[in-house]
Chains A and B, each alone.
Chain A
Amino acid sequence: MEAIWLYQFRMIVIGDSTVGKSCLIRRFTEGRFAQVSDPTVGVDFFSRLVEIEPGKRIKLQIWDTAGQERFRSITRAYYRNSVGGLLLFDITNRRSFQNVHEWLEEARSHVQPHQIVFVLVGHKCDLDGRRQVSRQEAEKLAGSYGMRYVETSARDAINVEKAFTELTRDIFELVKRGDITIQEGWEGVKSGFVPNVVHSSEEVLKSDRRCLC
């Protein structure tokens, strides 16, 4: 039996309120940009299939989180079962950049005993004229955390694919090398080879076709 997807990775998207988390995810999973999106209350989730090499597909479960601080007591429960994370700030909002460290600490303290592979995302790069955080500065910060840095725009669809795909590849490499392993009771990485659910795999294929349109 050929697997529809090799693995399923669960990812979490975090960052200050209104940096554009939901818009970035929607651009990636639905291929469209909403001018406005209602504030996320608690947690929301999306999914999409990513082809990292010809024939090698990974299913991404993407968890969107509320940015307002008081929802952290809710969202922190979702770190533990995530293998990847996109840490967003808005390049036109210096404060959101300054809070990156706090977000990272928050994630690290709640992910134990597992680990999350993060990518730092400078969002809204179409608004370059209003930039308050330089690329160099952000790259330096990402470097100090050992993360990739990528600048994205959901509005102009810049680097959105790249941000998710590169993160997926990085995790895939770690899984291949055995640095990250599938564990019972942990939702971060799941294998796609499940021989006894042929029926539901077919359904997955159907719904994925819809996603990729």
Chain B
Amino acid sequence: MSGRLWEGYCFHQLLCFVLILTLNLSFVLQCAYLEAKNCQIESKYLVVLRRLQESKGLDSSQQEMVKRLIEDSLQGDKKDGFKLNPVSEYNDYGFKTIPDYEVEDVWRWIVRTRTQVYRKRNPNRYQELRKHCEVSEHPASRQIRLDLHRTLTSNKHFSSPTSDAVQKLQRILLAFSWQNPNIGYCQGLNRLAAIALLVLKDEEDAFCLVAVVEIIMPQDYYSKTLTASQADQRVFRDFLAEKMPRLTAHFKEHSIDHSLITFNWFLVVFVESLVSDILLRVWDAFLYEGTKVIFRYALALFKYNEEDILKIQDNLEIYQYLRFFTKTISDGR
């Protein structure tokens, strides 16, 4: 039985491999999803193995086999430099806690997994882009330079214009302008890159993360027309109307256009809207699952404060409340 499981596991990797060989670059994204799926299957596989290990029905050779498979599987995780503690812990109150992990490890693992195929094809992409920046300036570089010194200014790493982080930020954004010349640079990308740098520290990884965000987001999210960003606001309005009809009616009564606030949440994935502890957890989910996470959290934020918002009866006061309330949320559970 264990042998068959093992075959299944190999089959998935094989499938990925075949896909990589046969499909062109536009399918990289699907592959990345498949790989993510593969990881999900792997973790389920690990759970099954653990159960098998605990069960009494196996003879000694089978037990040995299961033990080895678990070790192999964990070894695989280690190889990627990322390991979640697979055993759930309980806190003092008896609640299951989220397994301990380093944000940095998770993000690096996601970035590397998502860009694996692409990096194999273009191993020196970032260095090439940087060289390209030296000989040729994208028209967007002017705006990039204007925004460098006004990015995450409250963060100590970005508070000085000469700091290492600001220099890295500049190189990442300039490289990105050539990576995706149609976007060039869109205000907001500076915040995404800054967050990527703060967590990953490594410049090239952070660059990949920005590219990944751009892949995760629908096409035209940061382009010159921002079409997809605006479309998302319409979609979100419909969701809000469906999930929170009272709040929607309240907004309508007081002529509140929530997209004034929520557009920002979506474009920069809550950077500078949520406190960092919660922000990083939201980003974990966002990087893993994609844009639906933004919709979910945006709805959750409104739901969490719905009663408070409903009490406010003045247009301006509602706007003022919406502008800052996300920063007052500190309970990430």
Residues of A whose CB lies within 8 Å of any CB of B are: 17-18, 36-45, 47, 59, 61, 66, 68-71, 73-74, 187, 197, 199-200, 203-204, 207
Given A18, A37, A47, which contacts B316 in the complex, CB threshold below 8 Å?
A: A47
B221-263 interface code vs A (CB 8 A; 1 in, 0 out): 0011110001000000000000000000000000100001001
B226 engages A73 (CB within 8 Å): yes
A68 engages B150 (CB within 8 Å): no
B290 within 8 A of A: no
Supposing A17-B146, A66-B187, A71-B187 touch, asked if A38 and B226 sit within 8 A by C-beta, the answer is no
Minimum Cβ distance to chain B for residue A144 (Å): 29
Residue of A nearest to B224 (CB): A70
- Chain A-chain B contacts (Cβ-Cβ < 8 Å), number: 74
User: What's the dominant secondary structure at chain A's contact region?
Assistant: mixed
Residues of B whose CB lies within 8 Å of any CB of A are: 143, 146-147, 149-153, 186-188, 190-191, 223-226, 230, 255, 260, 263-264, 267-268, 272, 313-314, 316-317, 319-320, 323
Residue of B nearest to A66 (CB): B187
B150 engages A36 (CB within 8 Å): yes
Minimum Cβ distance to chain B for residue A203 (Å): 7
Given A38, A40, A45, A68, which contacts B143 in the complex, CB threshold below 8 Å?
A: A68
Residues from chain B with Cβ under 8 Å of A59 in the complex: 316
A36 engages B153 (CB within 8 Å): yes
Supposing A17-B143, A187-B255 touch, asked if A41 and B260 sit within 8 A by C-beta, the answer is no
Residue in A39, A40, A199 with the greatest tally of chain B CB atoms within 10 Å: A39
Minimum Cβ distance to chain A for residue B149 (Å): 6
Residues from chain B with Cβ under 8 Å of A73 in the complex: 225-226, 230
In the complex, 11 of the A-B residue pairs with CB atoms within 8 angstroms, ordered by the A residue number, are A17-B146, A38-B272, A39-B190, A41-B187, A41-B188, A42-B267, A43-B263, A45-B260, A59-B316, A70-B226, A199-B313
A38 engages B153 (CB within 8 Å): yes
Residues from chain B with Cβ under 8 Å of A187 in the complex: 255
Given B153, B190, B223, B317, which contacts A70 in the complex, CB threshold below 8 Å?
A: B223
Residue in B147, B190, B191, B260 with the greatest tally of chain A CB atoms within 10 Å: B260
Residues from chain A with Cβ under 8 Å of B316 in the complex: 47, 59, 61, 204
Minimum Cβ distance to chain B for residue A200 (Å): 5
